[in-house]
Amino acid sequence: MSEKHIDEFSGVETTGHEWDGIRELNNPMPRWWVWTFYATVVWALGYAIAYPAIPMITDATKGMLGYSSRAELQQNLDQAKASQTTLHDLIAAKTVHEIDSDSALREFAVAGGASAFKVNCAPCHGSGATGGPGFPNLN
């Protein structure tokens, strides 16, 4: 086995890799970097144990804390639907003129209509309802 080359300027052994006459020095990693790397490994292991982090075939690991972002999202959606139930019931029970005269109901109905338009109509008719190729102007 050949001896490693010692760099003449720094006195550090090289790794044996050379490219265009430049040799790679075999310097150790800085201590702060090594300890930071170890800390990230410990953090990752703790995170994988505490939270649902590892995907399986049909589900994922549950985690020790029992947290689920999907369950949190479903809870938020249920709260939003429950808070809108009274407004939906009022809109269903009133006429268009009565809805227009009530500012809170009008604002809710316009926001719902704008959302429905953006999802269902805007892809073809454009966001300003000016029409698109092959689709009429709705203004």
Tens digits of pLDDT across the chain (139 residues): 567 788 888 888 988 888 898 888 888 899 999 999 999 999 999 999 998 888 888 888 888 898 888 889 999 999 999 989 999 999 999 999 999 999 999 999 999 999 999 999 989 888 888 888 888 988 8
Note the pTM of the prediction, 2 decimals. Answer: 0.48
The pLDDT of residue 1: 53
Residue type present at position 45: L
Distance of CA 123 to the CA centre of its chain: 24
Domain residue spans of the chain:
1-67, 69-125
Cβ–Cβ < 8 Å for 9, 20? no
Count CA atoms closer than 13 A to 31's CA, side-chain side.
0
